[in-house]
Structure 1
């Protein structure tokens, strides 16, 4: 909780404005925020973002032996595959998946990796007081992009957390499956891996996905939650833990950084996918 308590937070909501754009832009935005916040050019920032039908692949995914077959399947299902600029494995984004980034600076105070994850766990519990006591953080085997800080209720995963560190800035990112079917999303990724692996042995162990271990918050809680409900809650939570909240997108000096980071992200994505 200590990490969340800051004199000033910036709040930047892109839950509507980013939907028509590529998710690559969001990864460039978080890299920009890492740089600016990490160098104390900008205050700690909370950013909310949503992208339409996208499957975000991790670095390991681009090494799949039949990646093009897997990506072609995603395209036939109406999803755009991209490769993000960090580790992890495939995750699904759509209009009912809310992404939240908490960006901190460790310029002057070291923040270890577990502390970053715990800050996001604390934030989600503040976001969902109705089920706060039921939320657990541990790896859900059989989920897509499994990790030690998978968030679940009753053994079913509804969220996954990752971190990105640049220039003393730390972006702790989470995807929250708010509505829709968690198992349908997992089935999409399961089929992607089936087609991209085709039974061929690999050095890296890709997850064997079991769709029934994933669900959305609506499915798990019975609450009529929407992405916009949770965006409003994000703002309310940050108001509670900060002395002051500034609603602001990128400042002019950050836009130059953003242009540079976006170029890197786009070029890296093209490079990864042209290796197929």
Structure 2
């Protein structure tokens, strides 16, 4: 396993904060745009047209589904349930299952080169260590292992005392790697989990399926604010991202979307639209 600091450390990082903007590359700032822009940036990083990127993003009332979720036997009814409750449901192009996003959930995309040299586990581990470093002054109890009963369970669930507050996914485009994590910072985690549990109840309806979908237990989910016993905010955690990154780079720059990136984004955005036409 490679040293996590060596994986992330680069002379220059490109910082993009899409957590409060209305549009991304000319499109509404929805999760569709987020996954399209991450692909775009992975291409730029792969082609050395951009330094490595750290991008922050927040979306209100969104359920991000995995590809297996789109195959639920009653997915149409599940999507109708989301719409009736003013949630947007989209299928992402990276791994995983359903995740709930709102204003209390901060997403971080770490986009770096080296897909030919770095294993999937190297990159997952690097993100785990980065998050642990972000909160090292508050806790040393953040662990990575699957939390059974959580939504979107996986080996790299992040938890404290068995309560999950974050999950990681990964996507590779050419030689670029996008490691994406959601951090449940504030708000009612149990309500989020209960909502996803109801989505699965409606979309699956106790039918036998080849794929095993999670039986969500809201009691194993929690926000960092609750777990640490302090009122953390998304804005405060964004600053922790920058502070931690500063120890791993010589300069942090902001670069707008370039012409070639706009062209790649438009293509990737249309691919996301097409992917979601199935539901």
The answer, yes or no, to whether TM exceeds 0.5 is: yes
Q: Is the CA contact (8 Å cut-off) linking 2:165 and 2:223 kept in structure 1? A: yes
Taking the aligned partners of 1:31 and 1:6, their CA distance within structure 2 comes to 20
Query: Unaligned regions of 5+ residues in structure 1, if any?
Result: none
Taking the aligned partners of 2:94 and 2:112, their CA distance within structure 1 comes to 18
Bigger shift: residues 236-245 or 160-169 = 236-245
Taking the aligned partners of 2:273 and 2:246, their CA distance within structure 1 comes to 34
Taking the aligned partners of 1:34 and 1:180, their CA distance within structure 2 comes to 31
Equivalent position to 2:111, from 84, 88, 103: 103
Aligned to 2:125: 118
1:90 CA displacement: 0.4
Q: Is the CA contact (8 Å cut-off) linking 1:13 and 1:47 kept in structure 2? A: yes
- Does residue 200 of the first structure (1) align with residue 204 of the second (2)? no
Could you give the per-residue CA deviations for residues 21-79 of structure 1, whole angstroms, max 9, x where no partner exists?
A: 22100000000011111121111100000011000111000110011111111222221
1:156 CA displacement: 0.2
Distance 1:40 1:132, change over 3 A: farther
Number of equivalences:
271
Taking the aligned partners of 1:219 and 1:251, their CA distance within structure 2 comes to 40
Q: Please tell me the root mean square deviation across aligned C-alpha atoms, in Å.
A: 1.4
Aligned to 2:69: 61
- Does residue 9 of the first structure (1) align with residue 16 of the second (2)? no
Distance 1:227 1:74, change over 3 A: same
SS across alignment from 2:212: coil
The TM-score, its normalising length taken from structure 2, stands at 0.94
Q: Runs in 1 of length 4+ with deviation above 4 angstroms?
A: none
Taking the aligned partners of 1:101 and 1:264, their CA distance within structure 2 comes to 20
Q: Is the CA contact (8 Å cut-off) linking 2:95 and 2:170 kept in structure 1? A: no
Aligned to 2:148: 141
Aligned to 2:167: 160
Q: Is the CA contact (8 Å cut-off) linking 2:190 and 2:219 kept in structure 1? A: yes
SS across alignment from 2:151: coil
1:131 CA displacement: 3.6
Aligned to 1:52: 60
Taking the aligned partners of 1:186 and 1:225, their CA distance within structure 2 comes to 20
SS across alignment from 2:167: strand
Bigger shift: residues 158-167 or 85-94 = 85-94
Could you give the per-residue CA deviations for residues 2-37 of structure 1, whole angstroms, max 9, x where no partner exists?
A: 112111111101111158622100000000011111
- Does residue 31 of the first structure (1) align with residue 39 of the second (2)? yes
The TM-score, its normalising length taken from structure 1, stands at 0.95
Bigger shift: residues 226-235 or 203-212 = 226-235
Alignment of 1:149-188 (within 5 A): 149-188=156-195
Alignment of 1:227-242 (within 5 A): 227-242=234-249
Aligned to 2:250: 243
Query: Unaligned regions of 5+ residues in structure 2, if any?
Result: none
Distance 1:132 1:120, change over 3 A: farther
Q: Is the CA contact (8 Å cut-off) linking 1:18 and 1:50 kept in structure 2? A: no
Aligned to 1:256: 263
SS across alignment from 1:159: strand
